[in-house]
Amino acid sequence: MPEPEGEQHDIGSETEAARRRRRAQFLRELHEAKALRDRVQPRRARAARMRQQMRMRTFRW
């Protein structure tokens, strides 16, 4: 469905670029936080990896 011509279109690609930058920053920080948590809690991280592997093993295509 096309966007109506008006306020939405006046904002332009600047907000789209800004949104992408904010999203990229958020994902970087999220990845960094997960890596830190994995270093701080190795047993929990290992258990999470095992659960993920089991999930992938039992997933049906």
Number of domains the chain contains:
1
47: domain range?
A: 13-58
In a domain, residue 5? The reply is no
Q: How far apart are CA 52 and CA 46, in angstroms?
A: 10
pLDDT digits (tens, 9 = 90+) for 2-61: 555 544 555 556 799 899 999 999 999 999 999 998 889 889 889 999 999 999 998 776
In a domain, residue 30? The reply is yes
45 burial (CB, 10 Å; 0-12 / 13-18 / 19+) is: middle
Q: What is the pLDDT of residue 60?
A: 72
